[in-house]
Structure 1
């Protein structure tokens, strides 16, 4: 992987884009958008600024037109929030070098709105996702239509439902977003491995209900997952989530940790070969750690539950706990605070996440095809989304919901220690007989040790008295 990443880095360091960035040239550039716009804030005039990942198709600098396939980062104002993955645009601006550690060869401060590739004068702000007929532009249009179809819902559901189904968080209220950060439930508003696991699990159950063979059910489930990926947009984060979700479901249903761990290692290697930049992605790291926790710890923790506890309830507690134990050290490195009610919140919202994901996914293709029929699953999914928002707000409002935590290596080390202590405490709580026996045994040993020490002290004191002989 190191050799492969080094080979991938050569065009970023020695290509025409890198040369133009080093010289800080003004360029005209034709690019392919490869990711969603990310808001940077506002400029001095109060206008929004956006960062858009893109791949260079050709670049004109110093009177020369050069073709290249290099990643860059575009920053711009008006119109750049409207571009979508798979769209080709042309713009002009000044190119500068990227910061060390960035995967892009340079950063272009766009001086113009996005323009159509065949025109240097017509802004592309009205060029909607369907304009170029690119298959990757369809998901963006579906997201827009689904968000519009959910606007009639009341409360937090109107913004949260699109976020939980398609990852479109533009309508999520700021106070709700803060509450979800406090309770560590922001993963619900991204297309994550949990979403993909629910889609896979639902399709497997549907196929098995028709008494289809296990292999046929698996093929149908994978085909459905592929359709889901294409529907929400086949970008790197969604593909990563699909792979990790499939591995997580395999780990929970297969019961063979060795095989699931092998799948995870193979998936991580394959994803890094396809995109070495994932190696510096915090989202990828958290996804791998969460899946690793599910593979290694979820089933053992669930098996510790007493016989009278339903297996579904045991799994509902074990899965978020296993994921949180491994992800917490990374989370506190990014945000030095401890979410006191994160586990309780994730357990409480778990029964409502599946209806939102499954019914919302069913509604997405119905919106453009049968809008009147989509109202039913949207209403049901919206009710569950509203409940999720209410639970997040409730736990975020409790005293001590966000506790301060040490920063830097100290915070990471203490969180690792806390994770180890937590798993030991859970084991002791779920094994009261063994814990009681261990406490009694320790008590007996301490009594014997104290008696032996007292006896030794008495002998020494007696031996040291005058006339003791």
Structure 2
């Protein structure tokens, strides 16, 4: 019986397969690089230089010590029945990893030094602090984003740019600094890669951000030159897709382009608010889930065609690159593509430890390339969602009974694992609890795949075969209408958005709720193990109380807590008339009744 229960427990723990250890060696370097990137966004240049030198010096010392201690050592090994000393290299992976982590953190801090100097010192920083007017030649660095006012969009756009030259107060400064242009009409049509002229008033940026300042444009953008032909074509293709979906019902025609290409220009404001209330706004922007679906579909297609592994990987990555160009190669889209690829690789390979290593490598690479991502909540949410899928996704799928289809188990496990880790950060941005968020996302999860895949396939057909594109848009629009109906229904239910504490208390309470939710799911999926644990806890509690009573009153003391004769019951000993009477007493243990004896004198 003991072997059988042990085998059942092993099958429950890992679906019959041994658990793989999670490789945490790259977690420390990733955490240190992230911390150094954050420090580079807040510290002045002088303090940042001290930090870089300190990290580099300490990292070099740790690596040198690890190298000196990594020589051969003599260990005993049984060979032929005897013990012969054999030389083997000493493994010092942790000191080496710590040294490399410190050096990488120093590199991330050094990369932030240039942006830090532009924010704190120089003519541009002085002009931003003084709020002077300026004329700048800038290069568009990302896709324009609509700026929502109190009553919705007010026709203004936010455009990230890189400066080439800035003229202010009669002084021309040639510098490459990051700015954000806040402009009205005309700024929504610029394309990444274009070089144009902007005029307006400089303003200080929010502290801790990567921008050297903001430019409130007072005129439309000047004549644009250059720009990527591919990105310009992608922009026109997105506009034609929005026009091709115009025949759908209002909710579907506005939501479909947002779910496929990230274009939310036709999205109804009421639907947008409903999706915010139930935690479904990630569906209206290109996220790691979209990239995962596209990459997974391409890999399956290549597998069906029996392409070689290298050719299949190259084809899938090429298709993902075209998808990124279609939706706009912003930093958020590039990050989503990378995180989606890591999530697909982890789930497909079934190796959570290797998936975590890939995630840490991606985090370090992105932060070293752009340290400003360290302060981005979007970057943090992408990392947490991918981490949840890697660490918890396969475990939750393993907890679900085999009778449930795997696609249904994945539809529950993926949004749940991502939401458990992202919830504490989301309440910092929006202090409310979306009661039906998980249920709404689970219901909408099967609808997202056909919308993304059919809609993405219809985008190029809008130009080549309009009739075929119309058919695909009609089918994808039906599924997107289902997503919109789910959001509106969940938002209208009572208590759909409950108030939640703000700040650190709200974050900590959400962490506790996430832990309790995960424990409850495990308990529901493993009732037999829960019963066994309860029995063990009961036995341990009884033994603890028994031992505590004996220690307090002394072993074999008549007044001590003692176990009764009946199994599983506690007896209490007390001194009464010089006799030890246990409670409860059996019939045979009741003392005999005393008879009164008449004494002389009537006493």
TM-score (norm 2): 0.71
**2:158 counterpart SS class:** strand
Cα 1:397–1:23 change in 2 (3 A) is: closer
Cα 1:447–1:259 change in 2 (3 A) is: closer
Instruction: Say whether the 8 Å CA contact 1:73–1:108 is kept in structure 2.
Output: yes
- Equivalent-residue separation in structure 2 for 1:383 and 1:442 (angstroms): 53
CA shift at 1:103, angstroms? Answer: 1.4
Q: Does 1:52 align with 2:159?
A: yes
- Give the equivalent residue in structure 1 for 2:430: 335
- Give the equivalent residue in structure 2 for 1:262: 357
Instruction: Say whether the 8 Å CA contact 1:395–1:401 is kept in structure 2.
Output: yes
Cα deviation digits, residues 164-209 of structure 1 (max 9, x gap):
0011112111121122112211111111000000001101111111
- Give the equivalent residue in structure 1 for 2:215: 108
Q: Does 1:306 align with 2:411?
A: no
Instruction: Say whether the 8 Å CA contact 2:560–2:573 is kept in structure 1.
Output: no
* Structure 2 counterparts to residues 343-354 of structure 1, below 5 A: 343-354=438-449
- Equivalent-residue separation in structure 2 for 1:272 and 1:456 (angstroms): 63
- Equivalent-residue separation in structure 2 for 1:230 and 1:132 (angstroms): 13
Deviates more, 1:64-73 or 1:409-418: 64-73
Cα deviation digits, residues 252-282 of structure 1 (max 9, x gap):
1111111111110110111112211111111
Cα deviation digits, residues 222-251 of structure 1 (max 9, x gap):
111111111221111110010000000011
- Equivalent-residue separation in structure 1 for 2:130 and 2:334 (angstroms): 36
Instruction: Say whether the 8 Å CA contact 2:142–2:329 is kept in structure 1.
Output: no
Q: Does 1:462 align with 2:574?
A: yes
- Give the equivalent residue in structure 2 for 1:25: 132
Cα 1:239–1:462 change in 2 (3 A) is: same
**2:198 counterpart SS class:** strand
Q: 1:62 aligns with which of 169, 192, 215?
A: 169
**2:211 counterpart SS class:** coil
- Give the equivalent residue in structure 2 for 1:160: 255
CA shift at 1:84, angstroms? Answer: 3.1
Cα 1:132–1:311 change in 2 (3 A) is: closer
Cα deviation digits, residues 22-66 of structure 1 (max 9, x gap):
34322211111222333445699x963333221112222233433
User: Which structure: larger Rg?
Assistant: 2
In structure 2, runs of 5+ residues without a counterpart are: 1-107, 550-558, 563-569, 581-603
> Aligned residue pairs: how many?
455
- Equivalent-residue separation in structure 1 for 2:305 and 2:154 (angstroms): 55
Instruction: Say whether the 8 Å CA contact 2:147–2:154 is kept in structure 1.
Output: no
* Structure 2 counterparts to residues 164-179 of structure 1, below 5 A: 164-179=259-274
Instruction: Say whether the 8 Å CA contact 1:204–1:217 is kept in structure 2.
Output: yes
- Give the equivalent residue in structure 2 for 1:127: none
Instruction: Say whether the 8 Å CA contact 1:155–1:386 is kept in structure 2.
Output: no
- Equivalent-residue separation in structure 1 for 2:321 and 2:451 (angstroms): 19
Instruction: Say whether the 8 Å CA contact 1:76–1:111 is kept in structure 2.
Output: yes
- Equivalent-residue separation in structure 2 for 1:291 and 1:174 (angstroms): 29
Q: 1:199 aligns with which of 276, 285, 294?
A: 294
CA shift at 1:442, angstroms? Answer: 4.1
* Structure 2 counterparts to residues 108-187 of structure 1, below 5 A: 108-117=215-224, 134-187=229-282
Cα 1:56–1:314 change in 2 (3 A) is: same
Q: 2:187 aligns with which of 74, 80, 83?
A: 80
Cα RMSD, aligned residues only: 2.5
- Equivalent-residue separation in structure 2 for 1:238 and 1:439 (angstroms): 48
Q: Does 1:429 align with 2:524?
A: yes
- Give the equivalent residue in structure 1 for 2:479: 384
- Equivalent-residue separation in structure 2 for 1:47 and 1:297 (angstroms): 42
CA shift at 1:89, angstroms? Answer: 2.1
Cα 1:286–1:223 change in 2 (3 A) is: same
**1:75 counterpart SS class:** strand
* Structure 2 counterparts to residues 410-449 of structure 1, below 5 A: 410-443=505-538
- Give the equivalent residue in structure 2 for 1:71: 178
Q: Does 1:359 align with 2:464?
A: no
Deviates more, 1:287-296 or 1:48-57: 48-57
CA shift at 1:448, angstroms? Answer: 7.0
Instruction: Say whether the 8 Å CA contact 2:231–2:325 is kept in structure 1.
Output: yes
CA shift at 1:368, angstroms? Answer: 2.5
Q: Does 1:277 align with 2:401?
A: no
CA shift at 1:140, angstroms? Answer: 1.9
Cα 1:262–1:450 change in 2 (3 A) is: closer
TM-score (norm 1): 0.90
Cα 1:229–1:42 change in 2 (3 A) is: closer
CA shift at 1:343, angstroms? Answer: 1.4
- Equivalent-residue separation in structure 2 for 1:313 and 1:362 (angstroms): 25
- Equivalent-residue separation in structure 2 for 1:246 and 1:117 (angstroms): 35
